[in-house]
Amino acid sequence: MTTSRRAASVLAFALTTTAGCSAPPHPPNSIHGSPPAPIAMTPPSRPEPTAPAQIAADPPAPSAGTVEALRDAVLSSSQAWETTRSLVDEVGPRFAGSPGDRAAVAWAQRTLTAHGLQNVRAEKVKVPRWQRGHEAAHLIAPYPRDLVVAALGGSAPTPPRGITAEVIAVPTVADLDKLDRKAVEGRIVFFHARMERTQTGTGYGKAVSIRTAGPSAAARKGAAAVIIRSVGTDVERIPHTGAVFYQADAPRIPAAALSVPDAEMLERLLAKGPAKLTLTLDSKVLPDAESANILGEVPGSSAPDEIVLLGAHLDSWDLTPGALDDAAGCAIVIEAARAIAALPRKPRRTVRVVLFANEEFGISGARAYAAAHAAEIPRHLIAIEADLGDGKVLTASFLGSDTARPAFEALVRPLVPLGVTFIPDDAHGGSDLIPLRALGVPLADLHQDATRYFDVHHTPNDTMAKIVREDLDQAAAAYAAFAYAAADMSGDLGRIPEDKRQRR
């Protein structure tokens, strides 16, 4: 038997012995009925080291075929779909600080433990709390019509009877900036930029500023409220929510998203003449709440204090069970770690899974992690986040020391049979990696196919019905192979240059 075949056989046996291992059933009354118990904060079973571990000079390379065998075993026997299903079905919506969020924290601790990870613990995170309440939009003129609307996350409320005003339409924030204040003052600004469907998801980055920056830009010109065309690529009569980022130099005005069909109708009507509508939002800010980042590890065999971080975010928006965003991402990194934990030969460094709290409403968990693990930051070899649904991994990119690019290319070479191509562009990194990027931790992107992702992004339509099992398994296999290869590599990947540490 060849070395590669022997590795594959041993690996297949190891993975089979853990097959069927899934999270225990969710306890009753954790989301509805009586409130869940306070989050149990479990300390790590070993103290945080204060000095980096020393790696032996010229360590042995991983046994031939281990990474390839791992990749192929995950591809053929992945549990990622079942993990996704468990989080979606047993927890459902898990908005920061909500009962669902607490249920997700408990689910994650059970699931990481059941999947063979060690040092599983919850680390406290304070999260902001916002409640949606009643939301409605009614077109008064030229033709009375109820519109389908969702408040943007963090939106200020309207008065109880709503805001009734003329509508002024502009595609983008840049277009609004060209208008005189008199044209905007007292009106409801309607941003109607269309998001382009792309395989890379770049259309989102081009369109999302109408949601994040539009309300404050309109408020500076005296607008009464903002409505936007949903930032999504579907044509369903279901609005997409998402966070609004209010700026300190502008009043906080109400902001909501229209479904794409309603937005297109309003745009057509405004092209023929004036329109007036009433917007009613009963949203409110509540006191901060307690949540947690959930960590679990596959300890390294010879340099356990060196870390390869696999991240995803545990929370979702309040309107959605979040199958793609980001139950699938959680499942991808959990599956990668589960498969590595089942191996008879562990990689030299520790593979750490971090399920971050509150990515959607302010990356609270990401900031808390960077602060709590400040002493460990120099020992983070590389970090990667899965936050683009179930799509197949198509490309791999890197952000770190320029001299380390050849080493990174070698790490992703085992992904070529999965259809993954290395690209020389700098990695972008997920939102939860922004604080680590600022501290110089190298980042990897295993960029997934985003063609379908924004059809259901931040909507109630983000359900298990949208998950493609084969694509999810390919992504899990890519993450597992990359994580093992990185955790077992010789040398390191340097640090991100100072001039590239801020995300643009």
- Could you give the CA distance from residue 312 to residue 333 in angstroms, rounded to a whole number? 7
Residue 16, phi-psi category: left (phi > 0), alpha (psi -120 to 50), beta (remainder): alpha
Q: Is 277 exposed, middle or buried (0-12, 13-18, 19+ CB in 10 A)?
A: buried
**What token pair was written down for 343?**
């191996």
> Using DSSP, how many helices (H) and how many strands (E) does the chain show?
16, 16
- Could you give the CA distance from residue 330 to residue 312 in angstroms, rounded to a whole number? 5
Cis geometry, peptide bond prior to residue 60 (ω within 30 degrees of 0):
no
Pairing state of beta strands 276-281 and 163-170? Answer: antiparallel
Question: Nearest Cα to 101, choosing from 82, 124, 70, 75?
Answer: 124
**What token pair was written down for 169?**
């339409």
- Could you give the CA distance from residue 277 to residue 147 in angstroms, rounded to a whole number? 9
In 375-440, where do the E strands start and end?
A: 380-385, 393-399, 421-426
Are 369 and 354 in contact by the 8 Å Cβ rule? The answer is: yes
- Could you give the CA distance from residue 307 to residue 384 in angstroms, rounded to a whole number? 12
Cis geometry, peptide bond prior to residue 160 (ω within 30 degrees of 0):
no
Query: Looking at 68, 306, 335, 359, which residue is catalytic?
Result: 359
Is residue 359 flagged as an active site residue?
Answer: yes
Are 442 and 494 in contact by the 8 Å Cβ rule? The answer is: yes
Question: Nearest Cα to 246, choosing from 358, 317, 156, 177?
Answer: 156
* H/E run at residue 350: strand 349-356
**What token pair was written down for 48?**
């945080």
Q: What are phi and psi of 390, to 5 degrees?
A: -100, 5
- Could you give the CA distance from residue 221 to residue 200 in angstroms, rounded to a whole number? 34
Quickly list DSSP for 106-142. Answer: HHHHHHHHHTT-EEEEEEEEEEEEEE---EEEEEEES
Q: Looking up tokens 């990667």, which residue turns up? A: 384
Residues with catalytic function: 359
